Amino acid sequence: MASLARPFTLRQTCLSISRSSLPRTTAPGISQIVAFHASTKKNILPPLPQTIQGTVNDAAPVPKPHPSEGSYHWTFERLISAGLVPLTIAPFAGGSLNPVLDAVLCSLLIVHSHIGFQASITDYFPLRRVPKTRKFLTWVLRGATLGTAVGLYEFETNDIGLTGAIKRVWEA
C-alpha cells in the first residue's frame, strides 16, 4: 500500500514546490529562476554576425557553376549509393568471391563514406564561421579516407578480402 501512495505523495510535493513562491527576478537581462533549474545558459559559439549586405530588393547572389557541386554532385552521390546495393548482394547471391568485384565494392564504399562525411563537415562547420576548424576536419577526413583505402587494399591483396570476411562472420 505504501508503494501506491508514494507516487501520489511525490507528485503533490512537486506540484507544491513548483507553485510555491520561488524567488523570481524581473530585471532586464536576468533570466527567471524555474523550479529544479540550477544551470546557467552558456553559449558554445558566439552568434553569427547579424548584418544585412545590400538592400531588401537585391537578388540573391547566384554562385558560379562548378562540376563537383550542385546537380552533378547529387547525381554522382545517387549513382554510387544505388551501385552499392547490387554490389553488396552479388557475391553472396552468386556464391563466388570475385576479387575484382570485391575491389569495386571497397572502392565505392570508400567514396560513399568520404562524400557522406564531407557533407556532414560542410553542413555543421560553415566556412564563414569556423574556417580553421573546417579546414582541419577536411584534412582529417582526407587522412582517414586514405588510411581506410590503404587498409582495405592490404586486406584485399594479403588476406581473404571484404566479402570473404563477411561470409566467414556470417557463417560463424
39-70: pLDDT as tens digits:
566 667 666 666 667 777 888 777 777 766 67
Supply the pLDDT for residue 61: 75
User: Is the Cβ–Cβ distance between 103 and 131 less than 8 Å?
Assistant: no
Contacts of 77 (CB under 8 A, 6+ apart): 112, 115
User: Is there a binding annotation on residue 124?
Assistant: yes
Supply the pLDDT for residue 60: 76
Distance of CA 84 to the CA centre of its chain: 20
Judge whether residue 121 has pLDDT over 90: yes
pTM above 0.95, yes or no: no
* Domains along the chain with CATH numbers: 96-171 (1.20.1300.10)
Q: Which of 109, 136, 138 is nearest to 122 (CA)?
A: 138
What does the block give as the cell for 102?
570485391
User: Is there a binding annotation on residue 114?
Assistant: no
3-state SS string over the chain?
Answer: CHHHHHHHHHHHHHHHHHHCCCCCCCCCCCCCCCCCCCCCCCCCCCCCCCCCCCCCCCCCCCCCCCCCCCHHHHHHHHHHHHHHHHHHHHHHHHCCCCHHHHHHHHHHHHHHHHHHHHHHHHHHCCCCCCHHHHHHHHHHHHHHHHHHHHHHHHHHHHCCCHHHHHHHHHHC
